[in-house]
Amino acid sequence: MVHGGMKLVKFLLFLFNFIFWFAILLGLMIVLELAAGIAAYVLRVELNCCGAINYTDWESKDGFRTVNLGPKGGRLLPVSCCASATEADSCYTTAENLHTVGCLEQLKKWAEINVGYMGGIGVGLAFIQICRRTFFEHATSWALSVH
């Protein structure tokens, strides 16, 4: 009788643990997707760009393709594609202050300018990892030699 009860307790502990970690990972994925969306918006605003290649990338999106045409016949674009548009304004493909350069090109330029900083951060992180690994190997060998 006790043997069956122990199996039930083990199963319930496993089930709780599984549901707990599933919820944690699901929440983490939601937060990461939200962060990626915010980062993409900030990227478009900071780099003064629109679309991956140029502003015509938005024409292939269903939500923007089916929207009514603007006052001068242009298609509606995200607000971040216009230099001075606010949420109340609309940004159309016929706007004079439209960012025509794609974000991929702007990101390449930004990476070329900041390659030194990115390399320095990479070397610094590698140094920290090497120091951490060396310290823990030394601490482990010392702890094993004491006993």
- Residue 26 is predicted with a pLDDT of 97
**By the 8 A CB rule, do 59 and 65 touch?**
yes
What is the structure's pLDDT at 146? 67
CB 54 within 8 A of CB 106: no
Name the range with the highest mean pLDDT among 10-24, 48-62, 87-101, 132-146: 10-24
pLDDT of residue 32: 96
pLDDT for 1 equals: 52
Q: How far is 56 from 75, CA to CA, in rounded Å?
A: 10
Please tell me the number of Cα atoms within 13 Å of 7 on its side-chain side: 4
For the stretch 27-85, pLDDT in tens is 999 999 999 999 888 888 888 888 888 878 877 766 565 555 555 556 677 777 887 76
| pLDDT tens track for 99-143 | 888 889 999 999 999 999 999 999 999 999 999 999 988 888 877
What per-residue confidence (pLDDT) applies to 28?
97
pLDDT of residue 38: 92
Cα gap 147→51, rounded to integer Å: 63
Closest CA to 67 of 58, 59, 76: 76
**Nearest partner of 78 among 54, 97, 58, judged by Cα:** 58
- Give the ranges where 47-114 is alpha helix by DSSP (H): 62-65, 103-113
